[in-house]
Structure 1
Amino acid sequence: MADLSVNIGELKMKNPVMTASGTFGYGEEFSDFIDIARIGGIIVKGTTLHKREGNLYPRMAETPSGMLNAVGLQNKGVEYFANTIYPRIKDINTNMIVNVSGSAIEDYVKTAEVINELDKIPAIELNISCPNVKQGGMAFGVTAKGAAEVVKAVRSAYKKTLIVKLSPNVTDVTEIARAVEESGADSVSLINTMLGMAINADTRRPILSTVTGGLSGPAVKPVALRMVWQVYNSIKIPVIGLGGIMNWRDAVEFILAGASAIQIGTANFIDPTVTVKVADGINDYLEKYKINSISELIGALEV
Structure 2
Amino acid sequence: MTTVQTAVDMSTALGGVSIPSPVLTASGCSAFGRELEPFVDLTAIGAVVTKSVQLRPRSGRPTPRMAETPSGMLNSIGLQGPGIEGLLAGELPWLAERGARAFVSIAGVRVEDFAELATRLRGVPGVAGLEVNISCPNVESRGEVFACDPVAASDVVSAVRAAADPAQPVYAKLSPDVTDIVSVARAVVDAGADGLSMINTLLGLVIDPDTMKPLLGGITGGLSGPAIRPVALRCVWQVHAALPEVPILGMGGIRSGLDALQFVLAGASAVSVGTAVFNDPSALGRIHAELAAALEQRGFPSLREAVGYAHR
Deviating more after overlay: 30-39 vs 236-245: 30-39
Determine if the alignment matches structure 1 residue 169 to structure 2 residue 180. Answer: no
Write the mapping of 1:130-209 to structure 2, written as runs, cut at 5 A: 130-159=136-165, 160-209=168-217
Deviating more after overlay: 281-290 vs 125-134: 281-290
Shift of 1:192: 0.1
Secondary structure of 1:256 counterpart: helix
Determine if the alignment matches structure 1 residue 270 to structure 2 residue 297. Answer: no
Write the mapping of 1:55-66 to structure 2, written as runs, cut at 5 A: 55-66=61-72
Query: 2:192 corresponds to which letter in structure 1?
Result: G
Secondary structure of 1:36 counterpart: coil
Q: Which residue of 2 aligns with 1:103?
A: 109
TM-score (ref. length: structure 2) = 0.95
Shift of 1:92: 2.8
TM-score (ref. length: structure 1) = 0.98
CA contact (8 A) 1:259 1:299 kept: yes
CA contact (8 A) 1:258 1:298 kept: yes
Instruction: Tell me, in whole angstroms, the C-alpha distance in 2 between the residues paired with 1:122 and 1:242.
Output: 19
Shift of 1:246: 0.8
Q: Which residue of 1 aligns with 2:226?
A: 218
CA contact (8 A) 2:266 2:311 kept: no
Q: Gaps (5+ residues) in structure 1?
A: none
CA distances 1:49-74 after superposition (whole Å, capped 9, x unpaired):
11110001101100010000010000
Instruction: Tell me, in whole angstroms, the C-alpha distance in 1 between the residues paired with 2:295 and 2:200.
Output: 28
Secondary structure of 2:114 counterpart: helix
Determine if the alignment matches structure 1 residue 301 to structure 2 residue 310. Answer: yes
Determine if the alignment matches structure 1 residue 35 to structure 2 residue 67. Answer: no
Shift of 1:93: 2.9
Q: Which residue of 1 aligns with 2:3?
A: none
CA contact (8 A) 1:24 1:30 kept: yes
Q: Which residue of 2 aligns with 1:72?
A: 78
Deviating more after overlay: 25-34 vs 180-189: 25-34
CA distances 1:84-140 after superposition (whole Å, capped 9, x unpaired):
222211133332111000011111111111111313202010000001111111011
Instruction: Tell me, in whole angstroms, the C-alpha distance in 2 between the residues paired with 1:46 and 1:96.
Output: 12
Q: Which residue of 1 aligns with 2:259?
A: 250
Q: Which residue of 2 aligns with 1:279?
A: 288
Q: Which residue of 2 aligns with 1:4?
A: 10
CA contact (8 A) 2:225 2:254 kept: yes
Q: Which residue of 1 aligns with 2:237?
A: 229
CA distances 1:161-219 after superposition (whole Å, capped 9, x unpaired):
10110011100000000000000000001110000000011111100011111000000
Q: Which residue of 2 aligns with 1:261?
A: 270
Secondary structure of 1:97 counterpart: strand
CA contact (8 A) 1:41 1:94 kept: yes
Percent identity at matched positions?
42
Deviating more after overlay: 141-150 vs 93-102: 93-102
Secondary structure of 2:227 counterpart: helix
Determine if the alignment matches structure 1 residue 112 to structure 2 residue 121. Answer: no
Instruction: Tell me, in whole angstroms, the C-alpha distance in 1 between the residues paired with 2:100 and 2:37.
Output: 13
CA contact (8 A) 2:95 2:101 kept: no
Query: 1:211 corresponds to which letter in structure 2?
Result: I
Partner residue of 1:87 out of 93, 98, 101: 93
CA distances 1:282-303 after superposition (whole Å, capped 9, x unpaired):
1111222232111110000057
Instruction: Tell me, in whole angstroms, the C-alpha distance in 2 between the residues paired with 1:119 and 1:89.
Output: 9
CA contact (8 A) 2:131 2:171 kept: yes
CA contact (8 A) 2:99 2:126 kept: no
Secondary structure of 2:29 counterpart: coil
Q: Gaps (5+ residues) in structure 2?
A: 1-5
Q: Which residue of 1 aligns with 2:54?
A: 48
CA distances 1:220-254 after superposition (whole Å, capped 9, x unpaired):
00000000000111122101110011111100000
CA contact (8 A) 1:79 1:114 kept: no
Query: 1:191 corresponds to which letter in structure 2?
Result: I
- Give the RMSD, CA atoms, in angstroms: 1.1
Instruction: Tell me, in whole angstroms, the C-alpha distance in 1 between the residues paired with 2:255 and 2:208.
Output: 27
